[in-house]
Each structure stands twice: as structure tokens, then as C-alpha cells.
Structure 1
Amino acid sequence: MLIASAIGWGGVADHVHLAIRLSRNITIAELVKKLKTSSSQWLKTQSPSLATFAWQTGYGCFSVGPTDLDALCAYIDQQEKHHATRSFQEEFRMFLKKYGVEYDEAYVWD
């Protein structure tokens, strides 16, 4: 069963961006759980220094239409450049504001 197909990905030291085409047979929460579990298990086999690695509890998920996909992939490809001037927290707040998501800072960060 195909649960998702990766379209693009990029990461920096404290987070990862993924562009994923999600199958209708799995929820976003299930996909995130599977991604975090399998990547965590794999990372821990790569070095003893990663033995205590753990993802944060939360995640953000935003959908885009087909016409925005190229721009999204370009954004993901430029993560290191973005984060030279903007922190993960600043970037996440920007996305929340852009997509009109109300939030309370007390519940956003682990």
C-alpha cells in the first residue's frame, strides 16, 4: 500500500520540510507517526551519539494546490538560505499567520 509519495524534502539542524502527496488511505497523524518512528529508529543506528534522539511531539501540516507545488519545492530546496536569517520558530509563526491559524504560544513549542 502506498501511503504517500515524496515530492521534495529539505532539512536543517532543527526541523525538516517535506512535500508529500498523501494517499487517501492514511491520515496525516498516522503518516507523521510512521515517519517519525522509522526515521528515529534509523538515526539511532547511525551513531552512538544519536542514541537518545527524539523528534518533538508536535508537527505542522499545510496543504498547497498543484499550481503552488513548484514554488513549495523551491522553498524547501532553499532551507539553509532561509534559516540564515530566520529561525524555525519565526518561520513556523509566519506559516501560521499566512494560513490564518490561530494559536497560543504556550502550546506550540515542546
Structure 2
Amino acid sequence: MTKSNNNLWVHVVWNTKYSREYFNQSLWKNYLNKLFFEISDEYKIQLYVVNGYTNHVHALIRLRGTQNIAAIVKYLKGKSSKMINEELGINHFNWQNGYYSCSVSPDRVKKVENYILNQWTKHSNQKLKDELKYFAFEDF
């Protein structure tokens, strides 16, 4: 092979600090989705889909061979926190330390995309803690 070809997909989830509920569906639709895609473009992150709920974010990212998930999440969280503080005027907005991530098989990308896009429907019946248990990551 003369060049590298990667097909590495990662589902990432992170919370607001103290799991405070800052966001509504309109804010996700009209601001946060656009913000995360703009930040991703700046850093050459292949963000496939992003969505969330009142207090957390789900993102599906395709990694390039030179990228690592820790650096990507650090950049997304840092830059978005700064922009949310500046543009929305939420004083002292921060994301919680840490994140959850898991690899996604290429043949499951569409299923994970649908899962992420349906966060508002899903959370009308399920809390984040229960959702993370589904992913077998209870200490988030």
C-alpha cells in the first residue's frame, strides 16, 4: 500500500458541568449543531453527526490517521465552551471533565446516527444515567 486509508468511527458523549440543563431543542437546532460543525471544520475533524439534550452532547466522528480522540474532544469542548460563554452570555459555562467514547463498526454508522438524531424523543423516556448504563459506562 502506498498510502493510509482509515475507517475509524467513534461515538463520543460528554456532559455539562454538574449535568446542569442549559439547552433546549431549539438551541440545538438553531445554534449548537452549527457551532460544532464550524469548530470541526477549523480543526479538520470529520464530524458526521452531532446532537444532544439539555445537559449533554453526542457526536459521531470519523478519525483521520493522524488524529486522536482525546485531542479532538479537548478541542471541541474547549472551543465550544468559549463560544457558548461569549455568544449566548451563559456566565461560567463549562463542560464536565472527561467523556465517554466507543468505537463504531462501519456497518453500524447509520444506526448510531439515528440514535444520536433522536435524542429528544429518547430522553422524554430515559435519563442520561440510564442511557450510559446501556453503553456499559456507569461512572460517567
TM-score (norm. length: structure 2)? 0.65
- Name which of 22, 25, 33 aligns with 2:66: 25
CA root-mean-square deviation = 1.7
CA shift, 1:4, in A, is 2.2
Q: Which amino acid aligns with 1:30?
A: A
Secondary structure in 2 matching 1:62: strand
- Name which of 56, 66, 87 aligns with 2:96: 56
The runs of at least 4 aligned residues of structure 1 exceeding 3 Å deviation read none
Deviations 1:55-102 (A, max 9, x none): 000100011111101111111110001101111111011101xxxx6x
Q: In structure 2, what is the Cα distance between the partners aligned to 1:73 and 1:57? A: 24
Q: In structure 1, what is the Cα distance between the partners aligned to 2:65 and 2:132? A: 26
Gaps of 5+ in 2: 1-41
Q: Which amino acid aligns with 2:135?
A: F
Q: In structure 2, what is the Cα distance between the partners aligned to 1:21 and 1:4? A: 8
CA shift, 1:14, in A, is 0.8
Q: Which position in structure 2 is the counterpart of 1:83? A: 123
Between the aligned residues of both structures, percent identity stands at: 30
- In terms of fraction of residues, the more strand-rich structure is 2
